[in-house]
Structure 1
Amino acid sequence: MRGQHVAALLAAALLYPIADSSAASVFRCVDADGHITFTRHGCNDDQQQHLQDARNHTPSSGKPIPLADPGRRTTAASASSGEVVIVGQQDDGCGNLLTSSERRQAIIRKEVRRGMSRTDVESSLGKPDRVTSSNGQQRYHYREKRKGGSSRQVSFDEAGCVKK
């Protein structure tokens, strides 16, 4: 008898609908300049406060979830000066004279261009036949392998970049 009572309580507990614990009250705060902040603690007095629906419905729950309304979008004010601001840029050590695609194309075509590094030149032409140094600057010497072939020199500056 006691076992049936425990089984009935367990079955009732499993069938009892549980409140959605993933829901939370989230406030959308808009200040006078139009900056938006989301918080769970309410907005300041000088901000407009809107309650957001922050429920994460389970997949295939049968509840329709509205998509974003593109008609409600507002465009941000653009800078009046038209000035471009670069937030971050990789420095290749040679003044960024070549883009990565220009560098790749030069290596594929076995060309040497100003702004390439020693590694780029070796990727393009291979290991040099001879290396000379003078006043902190290096020079790679390449000789054609065929009889009577021409020679080629590539000069690098103090930073190890091709100079021309």
Structure 2
Amino acid sequence: MRTLLASSCCALLLSAPPALATSIYRCVDETGHLTFTRQGCPPQQTTERQQAFNPTPGSSKPVPMAKAPKQRPESKKKQEQTLTVVGEPDDGCGNRITGSARRNAMINRQSLPGMTRADIESTFGKPDSITSRNGQTQYRYTASKGRTHSISFDESGCVVGKR
């Protein structure tokens, strides 16, 4: 008797069609908050019943994949264009030295023509003395052994070369 009951229960379970669809409730409250549930919506929310169908793989028509974008013919490709620089940063000294040359000079504690006052003060610090004559400014730095290092600037505040 038990085997007959067990086999009949098993047959009933296997013969039942799989549940592929279910009802889902779409609930929206007065603030616009959206909730999906299977239990239903509270009375103060708007309710919309929706059917959700989720077929098992291979049980329905195949869904086509997205189409690949069309390739342009080689002849219609844009030809390489040259880059045109419209503006570049100006250091106030006519960009006489490059950024890497400026950095190397600052690391090696050198003064190059075209460096700005800010570059020199960043490299050597505040000068020991400052003199001005005929629109030119001169910074003097005194070393611990009594040696002096002079750096001259033009009217724009750029280091001038030795004459």
**Equivalent residues in 2 for 1:127-146, closer than 5 Å:** 127-146=126-145
Q: Deviations over 1:72-109 (max 9, x none)?
A: 57242657xxxx74311111100001122211111111
Answer yes or no: is 1:11 the counterpart of 2:49: yes
Aligned counterparts, 1:94-133, within 5 A:
94-133=93-132
Radius of gyration: which is bigger? Answer: 2
Number of residues paired by the alignment?
108
TM-score by length of 1: 0.53
The one-letter code of the counterpart of 2:149 is R
C-alpha distance in 2, partners of 1:68/1:142? Answer: 69
Deviation per CA, 1:42-88: give whole Å up to 9, x if none. Answer: xxxxxxxxxxxxxxxxxxxxx65747959757242657xxxx74311
CA pair 71-93 structure 1, distance change in 2 beyond 3 A: same
> Taking structure 1 as reference, are residues 66 and 111 closer, same or farther at Cα in structure 2, changes over 3 Å only?
farther
Q: 2:77 aligns with which of 69, 74, 79?
A: 74
What's the % identity of the aligned pairs? 37
Query: Considering only aligned residues, what root-mean-square deviation do their CA atoms show, in Å?
Result: 3.5
The residue aligned with 1:153 is 150
Cα distance in 2 for partners of 1:107, 1:67 equals 54
Question: Residue type matched to 1:10 in 2?
Answer: E
Unaligned runs of 5+ in 2: 1-24, 28-39, 42-46, 53-64
Distance in structure 2 (CA, Å) of the matches to 1:98 and 1:134: 26
- Say which SS state the counterpart of residue 111 (structure 1) adopts: coil
